Structure 1
C-alpha cells in the first residue's frame, strides 16, 4: 500500500505516496549514482513540469531498472546511461500529461463557447 512521505524538491516540501519497494529502489539508485535521493528527485522533477511527481518517480524507477536489465542481458557493463535514459522516459510522461491538459482545456473552451 502506498505510504505518503514528504520529500524536499528544490525549496519546496512535496508529499508523494509510493509503495515501500519504490522508496527502497529510489534510495538504491541514488546510492549507485552517488547522489542523494533529494538530488535525484530534483533531476526527475526538472524533467517534468506537467507530470505528477509520484508518477514521474515511478516511471523513472521502472525505466532505470529496465535499462539496467537490458544492458545486463546484452552483456554490457553498467554505466551512467541508465539515469539519462530513465530521465528521457520521464520527459515522455511529461509530454503525455501536457497533451492531456491541452485536450481538457480545449474541451472546456468548447463547453463554454456560445
Structure 2
C-alpha cells in the first residue's frame, strides 16, 4: 500500500466515485477497508474528509447502501454495499472511461505521427 497515488490528484478526485463503487464489487466493506482497497490499487491513502463525503453522495444517489454492523470485541461500524443501481452506474461509467481512454490514445497516437 502506498501513501502516494499512482496518478495525479485531479485524476484521482475525478475517478473517486467510480473507484469507490468498484471497490464494493466483491462485497460489503466499511469505510476504512474501502480506503485501504483504493490505496492498494494506486489511489494513495485517502483522508476521511475525501472518502466519507463520496460515500454520502453515493448513498444519497442510491448507488450504495449502508448498514450498522456491531463489532465483535470492538466498536460497531457502517458497512457499505453496492446496490443494483450502483452496479448499473458502475457499468455505464466504466464504459465512458474506456471510451475516454480510447479517444485520448487515438488523439495522442495521431499527434506522435504528425509531430
Same fold (TM over 0.5): no
TM-score (normalizing by structure 1): 0.40
TM-score by length of 2: 0.40
Larger relative contact order (Cα-Cα within 8 Å, sequence gap ≥ 6): 2
